[in-house]
Chain A
Amino acid sequence: MDQRAILDHEFRVAAYIVTWVIQLSYLAWLGYRWRAQEKRGPGTRD
């Protein structure tokens, strides 16, 4: 691979990693909130 192709590859990988870090971090935060609510109060769900 030439230098340009290597850089293209690295930027593409960076974009995909950033996407997944954001999405999975948000999912983890939702999971944390869910667990915190389970401890805090019962209530019925939709």
Chain B
Amino acid sequence: MKKLLIGLYAGITILLMIWGYYQAIYVAPNDAMQGEIFRIIYYHVPSAAVAFVFFAISLAGSIGFLAYRQNAPDKAQIADAWALAGAEVGVVFCTVVLITGPIWGRRAWGIWWTWDARLTTTLVLWLIYVSYLLLRRFAAGPQMQTLAAVLGIFGALDVPIVYMSNRWWRTQHPAPVFGGGQGSGMDPSMLPAFFWNMGAWFAWGMFILILRFVIERQQQRIAAAEAQAALEA
């Protein structure tokens, strides 16, 4: 039954990805100013949205770990696994954002990169979470999870700054398409492609997030069993 549900979810996700691609390439029109290069938005913006949500999950997991670590170790380990899964999958999506953005920028602006507020804060966000993953990978000892949780909380503080950066400051990065005040928005003929791809990337993201969480929980059990065996030896 469990395998059937996983297969069903994976199948729906693949269909959504194919449908999203079809919408982005064959249904949505070219942008009047940018031409075909505009279609990068259908992968770039959903990837950013998924990264933000997963960093928020990592934040919740980090807070949960700190809250439970003294009184409910089992719950703390579950929270820690969510924190790690959210951070790692978030970094994957943030990497996509940081590569597809410059590819678009090279055609639209004539440059790969500029140190404006949106791009810089996004790069800082990525660097913080890469640091988080490196800490988890190479640090050892009982305080590692606590340190990682604190870093995860600080990292998440950058998410609202990234989101607001092109509202607070004048940036080379385009103004907000949604929720950006008068004149913002997307042509209605482009909206279905945008929202189908948003749904598809969230479905894909949830799939790999849950897979990463399950792997981490299994890793925690193996580590606990090995520690127990070492104590009994």
A-to-B contact residues, CB < 8 Å = 4-5, 7-9, 11-12, 14-16, 18-19, 22-23, 26-27, 30, 33-34, 37, 40-41, 43-46
B92: Cβ under 8 A from any A Cβ = yes
- Cβ of A4: which chain B residues have Cβ within 8 Å of it? 35
For chain B, residues 74 to 117, give those with C-beta under 8 angstroms from any C-beta of chain A. 89, 92, 95-96, 99-100, 103-104, 106-107
Contact B225 A41 (CB under 8 A): yes
Contact A41 B215 (CB under 8 A): no
Contact A41 B40 (CB under 8 A): no
Given the complex of chains A and B, what is the CA–CA distance between A1 and B103 in angstroms?
20
Given the complex of chains A and B, what is the CA–CA distance between A33 and B106 in angstroms?
36
Given the complex of chains A and B, what is the CA–CA distance between A4 and B92 in angstroms?
31
The closest CB in chain A to the CB of B78 belongs to A46
B190: Cβ under 8 A from any A Cβ = no
Cβ of A27 to closest chain B Cβ, rounded Å: 6
Cβ of B104 to closest chain A Cβ, rounded Å: 7
9 A-B pairs with the lowest CB-CB distances in the bound complex, closest first: A43-B221, A8-B36, A41-B222, A15-B100, A8-B37, A15-B103, A15-B40, A8-B35, A11-B107
A23-B96, A23-B208 given; 10 more Cβ-contact pairs under 8 Å = A5-B36, A8-B34, A12-B37, A12-B39, A27-B211, A37-B218, A40-B222, A41-B218, A43-B225, A46-B213
Contact B104 A11 (CB under 8 A): yes
A–B pairs, 7, beta carbons within 8 Å: A8-B37, A11-B40, A18-B99, A19-B100, A41-B218, A43-B222, A46-B213
Cβ of A1 to closest chain B Cβ, rounded Å: 10
- Cβ of A30: which chain B residues have Cβ within 8 Å of it? 208, 211-212, 215
Contact A37 B106 (CB under 8 A): no
Given the complex of chains A and B, what is the CA–CA distance between A11 and B35 in angstroms?
12
With A8-B35, A23-B204, A26-B92 as given contacts, are A18 and B103 in contact (CB-CB < 8 Å)?
Answer: yes
Identify which of B35, B40, B214 contacts A46 (C-beta below 8 A): B214
- Cβ of A33: which chain B residues have Cβ within 8 Å of it? 215
Contact A12 B92 (CB under 8 A): no
- Cβ of B37: which chain A residues have Cβ within 8 Å of it? 8, 11-12
Given the complex of chains A and B, what is the CA–CA distance between A43 and B225 in angstroms?
9
The closest CB in chain A to the CB of B204 belongs to A23
The closest CB in chain B to the CB of A1 belongs to B36
Given the complex of chains A and B, what is the CA–CA distance between A14 and B37 in angstroms?
10
Identify which of B95, B107, B212 contacts A7 (C-beta below 8 A): B107
B118: Cβ under 8 A from any A Cβ = no
